[in-house]
Amino acid sequence: MTVPGHGLRDRTAITGVGWTPYSKNSGVSTLELALRAISAALSDAGLGLRDIDGLVTHSVGDSAPAAAVAACLGVRDPRLLLDLNGGGSMSSAAVGAAATAVAAGQAETVVVWRSLNARSEFRMGGTGRAAPTLVEFQYQVPYGLLAPPQQYALIGRAYLQRSGASSEDLGRVAISQRAHAALNDRALMRAPLTMDEYLGSRWIAEPLRLYDCCLETDAAIAVIVTSAERARDLLHPPVLISAAATGGGHSYFSDGYADLSTSAARTMAPRLFAAAGIGPREISVAELYDAFTPLVLMQLEDYGFCAPGQAAPFVAAGETALGGTLPVNTHGGHLSEGYVHGLNHAVEAVLQLRGVAGARQVQGAETALVTGQPGYVSGVTSALVLRRDS
């Protein structure tokens, strides 16, 4: 039987990455941020504007649309224009869509980006603007369930109760990732974080404290996807896209899911690894979507790195730190580097597989898992398996 997604394996590659500085106030539009990140990614790849023939982005309410970006770049008659509706859940899906288009011959060089002023302009759960278009949101409003920390607090509580994990276990996730961020000059938060500081930080929505929550950030990220064959003639060793998968369905809050402590990633993960032809034990480094600390523990289990209930001891043993068996969020993640809706995780994976991550380099890194938001609140998720070209 043919494995779905197998035909994509290693046929395309990420050949360029670019980003803008991370800040609390960029002072420019999301369109300007997008153009700057794309320019940096093209320069990194050794390509020019004339090489772009496909554009893909994803967004939640604050988009720099693909057509507008194409016009500003001077891309005439692009062969692929795609605007995906969704935040972090669609970050890996956007890269997967670009890879699929290249593998199918629809386009040759596709730029994928995420651009947002998530601190200075469109704050998630902020007031003074229209409610989200999710159908079930009307049923949450009467109960004050409005902002992401409130929604993820329900999920975090369910996970803690099921697994037996504690506040200290959540704290170890934040502390480990802050230690990684200290080695990353892009990161917004680089000062060491202690357990006392973590436990002493204010509640946002129990069981989530301040340091359990991602950093709202103004920034843009861009990656360039082309064929593996073409990438081998460019500036950097190709980072091959071994597999891309999407999963999930409708919102966990209104679709009859009885267990909030597991995510859509658990169902999707076997398809993803089958398409890549490897298993969890063959992953060198994992860049796991970390809007909130419980998601890291949940994904360690849902992607098969740990048995149910064993993620907290795994982190406590130092296995997710640099030098551990599975370094996780080596850039600091959304908790300490910055929140760019998942695409900054793909950039870090590329740097690790190129072997150019400096002091935070995972020695001998051959493969990387990059995940999008694992299935909350929209119920949709996506992920990538990337591989260093042999």
Distance separating alpha carbons of residues 320 and 328, to the nearest angstrom: 5
- Tell me whether residue 44 is exposed, middle or buried, using C-beta atoms within 10 angstroms of its C-beta: 0 to 12, 13 to 18, 19 or more: buried
| Residues 6+ away with beta carbon under 8 Å from 221 | 17, 18, 19, 37, 113, 114, 115, 340, 343, 344, 346, 347
Which residues are the active-site residues?
289, 339
Strands (E), 91-177: 109-117
Written as one letter, the residue type at 167 is: S
User: In degrees, to the nearest 5, what angle opens at C-alpha 345 toward C-alphas 332 and 108?
Assistant: 155
**Phi, psi for 349 (deg, rounded to 5):** -60, -40
- Tell me whether residue 325 is exposed, middle or buried, using C-beta atoms within 10 angstroms of its C-beta: 0 to 12, 13 to 18, 19 or more: middle
Percentages of the chain per state (helix, strand, coil), in multiples of 5: 40, 20, 40
Written as one letter, the residue type at 331 is: H
In the DSSP assignment, the letter for residue 214 is P
In the DSSP assignment, the letter for residue 299 is H
Q: What are the Cα distances from residue 376, in Å, to 125, 146, 151, 230, 261? A: 15, 14, 9, 37, 11
SS3 84: strand
Q: What are the Cα distances from residue 45, in Å, to 39, 113, 223, 232, 253? A: 10, 15, 9, 11, 42
Strands 367-371 and 380-388: antiparallel
